[in-house]
């Protein structure tokens, strides 16, 4: 089956169990409490029950898709995501976005935990993404697209400028996110390379979903919670701790929710 057929199958099942969405929110590591902070929870389903929906595997990710009523709009919130390092393929990383689009969503808000390349951006701060660098070595747009779907997509301005302006008062800064394959954390040399390339943040997700959304002409916003300083930055230790990452994100979820809600309610 093609990615379009897979997303249509998932969407058909979901529309029998959840109200049609205006938007999709994807929760990053440690942010599974986000649905209840955004608005009134309507209904929740286990992703294991959704036909052809890939199961998130990373520790700290949830396994639900929740319909939330946010000030007049219906939002689907995925409490977990698939990463490329899970080994399920690049289309699995983009499946939630493509399914939400098939169900009627026109905007996507992506969240993640990220390492900061700036010592002045403290752990626990929330940063809005203004651009990205794809270091994954793969792109969900590869392959022959379905009829009517553009193949050669302009990735510039992937992150909606009006959304960015709507959330700036709720975030610490805006910056460029570099997506690395993982699941290993970056070496000091890799961080020096990313700094030279213009990255402000580094993580292991978000870019496949953002590119898939861009191809489908969906409006995109994305946020990183700074869960640690990148390797070699400031006094950070070389060996990072995933459990510490989850704890840092959980502590910042209230701030993250305000920023996400600002985008969901923006015109």
Three-state SS for 12? Answer: helix
Residue 72 burial by CB count (10 A; 0-12/13-18/19+): exposed, middle or buried? exposed
Whether the CB-CB separation of 173 and 224 falls below 8 Å is answered with: no
Tokens at 207, concatenated: 């870019």
Q: Are 183 and 83 in contact (CB under 8 A)?
A: yes
The residues carrying an active-site annotation are 186
Q: Using the 8-state DSSP alphabet, how is residue 187 labeled?
A: P
Helix-helix angle 90-103:3-15, to 10 degrees: 50
Cβ atoms < 10 Å from Cβ of 71: 11
Burial of 192 (0-12, 13-18, 19+ CB in 10 A): middle
């Amino acid at each position: 089956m093609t990615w379009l057929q897979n997303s249509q199958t998932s969407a058909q099942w979901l529309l029998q169990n959840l109200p049609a969405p205006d938007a999709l929110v994807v929760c990053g590591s440690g942010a599974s409490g986000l649905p209840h902070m955004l608005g009134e929870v309507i209904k929740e389903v286990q992703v294991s029950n959704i036909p052809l929906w890939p199961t998130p595997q990373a520790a700290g990710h949830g396994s639900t898709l929740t319909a939330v009523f946010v000030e007049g709009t219906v939002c689907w919130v995925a409490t977990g995501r698939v990463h490329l390092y899970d080994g399920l393929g690049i289309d699995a990383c983009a499946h939630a976005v493509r399914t939400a689009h098939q169900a009627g969503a026109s905007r996507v808000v992506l969240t993640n935990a990220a390492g900061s390349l700036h010592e002045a951006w403290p752990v626990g701060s929330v940063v809005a993404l203004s651009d990205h660098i794809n270091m994954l070595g793969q792109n969900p747009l590869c392959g022959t697209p379905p009829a009517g779907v553009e193949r050669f997509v302009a990735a510039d301005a992937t992150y909606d400028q009006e959304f960015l302006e709507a959330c700036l008062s709720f975030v610490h800064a805006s910056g460029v996110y570099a997506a690395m394959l993982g699941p290993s954390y970056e070496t000091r040399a890799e961080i020096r390379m990313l700094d030279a390339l213009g990255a402000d943040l580094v993580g292991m997700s978000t870019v496949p979903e953002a590119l898939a959304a861009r191809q489908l002409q969906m409006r995109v916003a994305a946020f990183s919670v700074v869960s640690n300083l990148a390797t070699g930055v400031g006094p950070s230790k070389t060996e990072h701790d995933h459990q510490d990452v989850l704890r840092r994100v959980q502590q910042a979820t209230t701030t993250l929710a305000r920023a996400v809600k600002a985008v969901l309610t923006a015109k």
